Chain A
């Protein structure tokens, strides 16, 4: 009997020991696995840091050579070896602002239609169609813009704008290609991004709020204007900033239609250059000792601008979501 008990005890002891060993193995495996997943997550962080560092290192010779003037002067001349970012920064900002001026109202209209007035059965297909617009690669926008859209703008839109609006922004011969057309194509490209963020934040408005407003006799527009917009303001601005971030860094579509001229002009119908289009056009053929560092300098400026804009957008959208979650 006692012998039996000792046996059992020994067996239990052995089993516990095995179990403890197994647990230790599991724990070790877990730690290794957690380490692996952590290192991949950290890799993403490292890449961002690496991008910033490498751009700065490569751009340093140009910034050193041209000083602060590199950021605002408007000479860009590979033949004489003088470079500064003014023209490209102006092109980038002008195209993005045109895109926002046109894209934001349209995106707002789309989001408003999808959340308020659209019949339920149409919501999904329409929403999908708008999202597909976001999926079309930018090179196709550019190609279409160059061959189909720009000639139409040249023929029908620009002569009319020149005679009605005129100098200083809408002057000169209607060339079709230029800063203005690039802004229009960009507008079409950023509409799906802004519209889908707006639609998502509009949907966070509690229906009690909207129904109360409808209940006291508000029209649809009054509900949007006085209930939905104030409630979602932060998220809406975040969506617009996201669109701006996209527009600033867009390369291929702009490169096709902006005209690629390194001349500074206030006139929006004149061909110009944006940071991204200068990089796309000149980088592969650049070899002069200052040319490549100057292009890296442009890249650095672009990266910093978009980083700031996208961070702001990210933060605002998060704030909007938090408000919706904590009601």
Chain B
């Protein structure tokens, strides 16, 4: 055929191949990172990893027990605090504010907070709490993480509530229910799966967040249940250990990274499964 047809065909083939290569690069990145974590991280996860506290610099053995417990406490508290706040704010946006100016500004701000640099949120919490109480603590770490988790819950709750058909609301109103019970018992229950998905995604997001904890929860070499003092947590411990020259510390950091990655990926997959099964039924 003529040259022009040949050229069009060639350009088309080239673009398709290049887009295929782009996908391969993306997937290869994921496989490469996860593969590295499994190869380097899984051997580090032994019994001591889960039962012993972080070792002193240069010494052998030890584990991540204090950091695991610290992370669980900080993330757990964050989830407990930010879930109700996020859901209620989401209800306001979807059910009460709707088209009002306050609601549209809030929507805009939440979307920006979703991508705002997390280190600046750490700075804010430092300025607000650490400078006034004069010490680092697990509590302030939770506050910083909440500021990151709440926008995620707000936006998913709102988007889910918008899917509730108007007829369902009207049917509930016709039965004489007050508006707040319609919101909580009818609408929110109808989109339960979606809201749980939002919470799971929020937990996945904050589980590996490091930057806001650097100058709020700080770190702690010792095991503690007390959230009023500096608290060890997995991400900051990984940061400190990975940058250190000690091989034992680096191995522990690989183990902790693998642990976080598995947790975060499981939460992401779980969130998708929950959403699908709940929205089908």
Task: Let me know if B115 and A302 touch, CB within 8 A.
Answer: no
Q: A54-72: which residues lie under 8 A (CB-CB) from chain B?
A: 54-55, 57-58
Q: Closest approach, in angstroms, between the C-beta of A32 and any C-beta of chain B? A: 8
Q: A58 CA to B33 CA in the complex, in Å?
A: 39
Interface centre among B36, B118, B127 (most CB of A within 10 A): B127
Given the complex, which residues of A lie within 8 Å of B207, measured CB to CB? 137
- DSSP class of A's interface residues: helix, strand, loop or mixed? helix
Interface centre among B117, B151, B183, B254 (most CB of A within 10 A): B117
Q: A168-210: which residues lie under 8 A (CB-CB) from chain B?
A: 188, 191-192, 195
Verify if A324 is at the interface (C-beta below 8 Å from B): no
**Which one, A3-11, A79-87, A154-162, A246-254, is touching chain B?**
A246-254
Q: A156 CA to B247 CA in the complex, in Å?
A: 25
Task: Let me know if A139 and B208 touch, CB within 8 A.
Answer: yes
Task: Let me know if B268 and A140 touch, CB within 8 A.
Answer: no
Task: Let me know if A55 and B97 touch, CB within 8 A.
Answer: no
Pairs of residues from A and B, 5 with the lowest C-beta to C-beta distance, nearest first? A137-B208, A249-B117, A109-B22, A33-B180, A37-B92
Query: When A133-B29, A148-B36 are in contact, do A109 and B88 touch as well, CB less than 8 Å?
Result: no
Given the complex, which residues of B lie within 8 Å of A148, measured CB to CB? 32, 36
Given the complex, which residues of A lie within 8 Å of B8, measured CB to CB? 219, 222
Q: A254 CA to B115 CA in the complex, in Å?
A: 16
The number of chain B residues touching the other chain, given as a range, is 35 or more
Verify if B16 is at the interface (C-beta below 8 Å from A): yes
Given the complex, which residues of A lie within 8 Å of B14, measured CB to CB? 221
Verify if B272 is at the interface (C-beta below 8 Å from A): yes
Given the complex, which residues of A lie within 8 Å of B210, measured CB to CB? 137-139, 251-252
Given the complex, which residues of A lie within 8 Å of B245, measured CB to CB? none
Verify if B165 is at the interface (C-beta below 8 Å from A): no
Task: Let me know if B150 and A130 touch, CB within 8 A.
Answer: no
Task: Let me know if A33 and B127 touch, CB within 8 A.
Answer: no
Verify if A121 is at the interface (C-beta below 8 Å from B): no
Q: Closest approach, in angstroms, between the C-beta of B1 and any C-beta of chain A? A: 13
- DSSP class of B's interface residues: helix, strand, loop or mixed? helix
Binding site for B on A (CB under 8 A): 26-27, 29-30, 32-34, 36-38, 40-45, 47-48, 50-51, 54-55, 57-58, 105-110, 112-114, 116-118, 126, 128-133, 135-144, 146-148, 188, 191-192, 195, 219-222, 224, 242, 245-246, 248-252, 255-256, 276, 279-280, 283-284, 295-296, 299, 302-303, 306-307, 310-311, 314
Task: Let me know if A249 and B116 touch, CB within 8 A.
Answer: yes
Binding site for A on B (CB under 8 A): 8-9, 11-12, 14-16, 18-23, 25-27, 29-30, 32-33, 36-37, 85, 88-89, 91-93, 95-97, 102-103, 105-106, 108-113, 115-121, 123-124, 126-128, 147, 150-151, 154, 178-180, 183, 204, 207-211, 214-215, 218, 235, 238-239, 242-243, 250, 253-254, 257, 260-261, 264-265, 268, 272
Task: Let me know if B18 and A38 touch, CB within 8 A.
Answer: no
Given the complex, which residues of A lie within 8 Å of B239, measured CB to CB? 139, 252, 255
Given the complex, which residues of B lie within 8 Å of A112, measured CB to CB? 15, 19, 22
Give A118's nearest chain B residue, CB to CB: B23
Given the complex, which residues of B lie within 8 Å of A188, measured CB to CB? 29
Task: Let me know if B12 and A220 touch, CB within 8 A.
Answer: yes
List 7 additional contacts besides A54-B127, A117-B16, A306-B115; criterion CB under 8 Å: A36-B88, A37-B88, A40-B92, A147-B250, A188-B29, A279-B119, A302-B119
Given the complex, which residues of B lie within 8 Å of A242, measured CB to CB? 115
Task: Indicate which residue in B26, B92, B127 contacts A129 across the interface (CB closer than 8 Å).
Answer: B26
Task: Indicate which residue in A51, A255, A295 contacts B121 across the interface (CB closer than 8 Å).
Answer: A51
Q: A304 CA to B264 CA in the complex, in Å?
A: 30
Q: A1 CA to B232 CA in the complex, in Å?
A: 83
Q: A246 CA to B114 CA in the complex, in Å?
A: 10
Task: Let me know if A143 and B253 touch, CB within 8 A.
Answer: yes
Task: Let me know if B179 and A138 touch, CB within 8 A.
Answer: no
Given the complex, which residues of B lie within 8 Å of A38, measured CB to CB? 92, 96-97, 102
Interface centre among A143, A280, A314 (most CB of B within 10 A): A143
Q: A196 CA to B96 CA in the complex, in Å?
A: 31
